[in-house]
Amino acid sequence: MARCSVRYAGRLESRLDEALRLIMVKADGCVAIHADGGAYKPLNWMNAPNSLAVADGEWIVSNTKGETLTITLHEVLMDSEHHLGEDPGLAKDGVEAHLQELLAALPHTIEEGLTLIRREHATAIGPVDLLCRDRNGMTVAVEIKRRGEIDGVEQLSRYLEYLNNDSSLTKEHGAVRGIFVAQVIKPQAKTLASTRGLGCVEVDYDALRGAKPDELTLF
C-alpha cells in the first residue's frame, strides 16, 4: 500500500498522478496497481515475463517488447509478502465449449432431422463449430454462442462464404446454409441473420443438460 505516481509507455502512454494505491506483485513477477474501486481491473499493470529494477523510491518494470511501467513511491504505508504456492485452478461449467458439446450430441434439438458430420471443422479462416446434414441432405454450418450478437453472425457469414467456395463440399451436396445457435439472440443479430438468409435458434442450456444427464455430468 503506497502513495505513488505511475507512468506507462508502450502500446500507448499513460500517467497516474500521486495517490494512495495497492501495488500487487505476484510470484510470476507481474505487477498490478489498484485503486480503491472500479472492479477488478487495475489502473496500470505489467504482465509476466518482465524485469523489475528497484532504485531509490522508483520501480521500473520493463518487458522485452520495450514497454515500461515506472512507479514512483512517495510513501509506503504497508509492505507485506506471502507465498501462496500453486493454485489448484478454476473449474468451470457452462462455457461455450460445453454448449457445443451438448449440441454436438443432440443436433436434432437445433432442427428436426439434423445430424452431425463434424465438430470444429477446420477451415483456413477458422473452425466451424458444427458441420451438419439436414433431412434433405443439405450441408448446414452451425455457429454456437452463449450470447448471440452481431459478430457471431459475421463469423457464420464468413464461414459460409468460404464453404460455398469449397467445391469438394458443394459439388456433391450443393450450397451450404447456416444456422446461428445461442442461449439468447439479440434483436439486431436476428435481423442481420435474416437479411443474410441465416437461421436462428435459441436453446436452453439446462434443458439440454437434462436431456443427457448420464455422460455429461461435468460437475
Partner DNA sequence: GTGTATATCTCGGGG
Partner DNA sequence: CCCCGAGGTATACAC
Please report, as ranges, the residues that interact with a second copy according to CB under 8 A: 1, 11-22, 24, 26-28, 30, 32, 34-45, 47-48, 77-78, 80, 82-95, 125, 150-151, 154, 158, 188, 219
Q: Should residue 8 be labelled a site residue for DNA when binding is judged by CB under 7 A?
A: yes
* Rg from Cα positions in the chain: 25
* Residue 138 beta carbon to a second copy: minimum distance, rounded to whole angstroms: 25
Q: Which is nearer to a second copy, 93 or 204 (CB)?
A: 93
Q: Should residue 145 be labelled a site residue for DNA when binding is judged by CB under 7 A?
A: yes
Q: Is the dihedral of CA 90, 94, 95, 101 positive or negative?
A: positive
**Pick from 121, 94, 97, 118: nearest CA to 107:** 118
Residues 95-114 that bind DNA (CB under 7 A): 95-97
Which three three-digit cell numbers place residue 181? 445457435
Produce one character per residue of 133-160: b if its CB has 16 or more CB atoms within 10 Å, e if not: bbeeeebbbbbbbeebbeebbebbbebb
Contact string 32-71 vs DNA (x = CB under 7 A)? ------xxxx--xxxx----------------x--x-x--
Q: Residue 145 binds what, of DNA, a second copy, none (CB under 5 to 8 Å, by partner type)?
A: DNA
Measured CA angle at 116 (ends 198, 143), to 5 deg: 35
Q: Should residue 91 be labelled a site residue for DNA when binding is judged by CB under 7 A?
A: no
Task: Give the separation between CA 219 and CA 216, rounded to whole angstroms.
Answer: 9
Decide: 141 and 131 in contact? Cβ < 8 Å.
yes
Q: Which residues bind DNA (CB under 7 A)?
A: 8, 10-12, 14, 38-41, 44-47, 64, 67, 69, 90, 92, 95-97, 122, 125-127, 129, 144-147, 149-150, 152, 155, 158-159, 186-189
